[in-house]
Structure 1
Amino acid sequence: MTQAGPGDEPPEPRGRLRPTSARALTTCAVLGLAVGWGVHRVGDAVAGRPPLVSWVQALALVLVAAILAFLAWHTWQTVHVRGERLDPQQALNRLVLARACALGGAVVAAGYVGYAVSWLGDQSEVADRWVLRSVVAALGGVGVMLASLALERACRADGGRPRT
């Protein structure tokens, strides 16, 4: 082995960043499902009533999903259609955003599904409203997750093709 001298540059780092795994998404979904189901019970026990699910929450998730989908489309057009390169910092920021939102979207979607399931069979007058709003919010969370996975794929310079 030779020692690197003061004028020698370190070798270029070589590594591969793998796409977000199905295992990570599944783990987040299972945790979100359990927490979402438990929120109803804990809210009843602690505050005397379960938490409110408003249309604002549900529609905010749909809006975030739309923004991420647009960003994924724009990134795909830039990198894969026009063949331009993103600034490295910008590409890294988009990749980090995509990873975080994919995992967060899985947790949130499953959490709202768990909350909706916890209302099934409940005879109160708000149960139907909370189930509907929770389902719309869960769909928004799924949209966030899918758009984030699309953004993650758009950030790949090889388009996600396996190396041979």
Structure 2
Amino acid sequence: MREGHTYPDPEPPRPGPGRMRPTGWRPLVVVAVVGALLGFAVRPVAQWLGETAPTVGLLQVGALYFLAAVLAALAWQTWRTLHRQGGTLEPHRAVNRLLVAKSCALVGALAGGAYGGYAAAFLDRFDVLLGRERVVNSTAGVVACALVVTAALVLERACRTRGDASGDLP
């Protein structure tokens, strides 16, 4: 510290309004397009490296369907607690559910785009057994990711409280 120079005392952070906007369609579309470009690039990059492009397993796709079911059940339980029964949710639980919903919506859009791009990369190889398997399994992955995004957005909206006329979330 230099002589004669004083630094102001740091102010404590001021509390903000504590609100968050619902996830819009624009970020989801941008993330899905980025995922599609990455998914489409897997086949040419694998060929350039002299490797075989990976296959899409049904276990990964099944895990996405399971995630969509869990998110849908959590959305139903949250909506029922807050709106139908007139109950309350502890603030930290509501924020946790909201953050899970937002992150699952974005990651679901990214993965769905990647599966779609990967399927598109193999459309010209649909007559070959592994090409058909990659397209069919990737398409099932796109559907699963669409369900994940939908369930996540429903969960996000279920976290709204009664006084949220502005569309903000707690």
Pairing of 1:15-164 with structure 2 (within 5 A): 15-46=18-49, 48-122=51-125, 123-158=127-162, 161-162=165-166
> Which residue pairs with 2:8 in the alignment?
none
> Which residue pairs with 1:7 in the alignment?
none
> Which residue pairs with 2:4 in the alignment?
none
After superposition, the C-alpha distances for 1:101-148 in whole angstroms (9 at most, x for unaligned) are 000010111110100000001143211111000000111111110000
Supply the distance in 1 between the matched residues of 2:82 and 2:88 (Cα, whole angstroms): 6
Shift of 1:11: 7.7
Alpha carbons of structure 1 residues 159 and 129: separation in structure 2 relative to 1, 3 Å: farther
Runs of 4+ in 1 over 6 A off after TM superposition: none
Shift of 1:14: 2.1
Supply the distance in 2 between the matched residues of 1:158 and 1:73 (Cα, whole angstroms): 16
TM-score of the pair, normalised by structure 1? 0.87
Unaligned segments of structure 2, at least 5 residues:
1-12
> Is the Cα–Cα contact under 8 Å of residues 153 and 159 in structure 1 kept in the other structure?
no
Shift of 1:40: 1.7
TM-score of the pair, normalised by structure 2? 0.84
Q: Aligned residues: percent identity?
A: 39
Alpha carbons of structure 1 residues 41 and 155: separation in structure 2 relative to 1, 3 Å: same
> Is the Cα–Cα contact under 8 Å of residues 80 and 159 in structure 1 kept in the other structure?
no
Supply the distance in 1 between the matched residues of 2:19 and 2:94 (Cα, whole angstroms): 15
Alpha carbons of structure 1 residues 11 and 31: separation in structure 2 relative to 1, 3 Å: closer
Supply the distance in 2 between the matched residues of 1:127 and 1:143 (Cα, whole angstroms): 24
SS at match of 2:129: coil
Supply the distance in 1 between the matched residues of 2:162 and 2:36 (Cα, whole angstroms): 35
User: How many residue pairs align between the two structures?
Assistant: 154
Unaligned segments of structure 1, at least 5 residues:
1-9
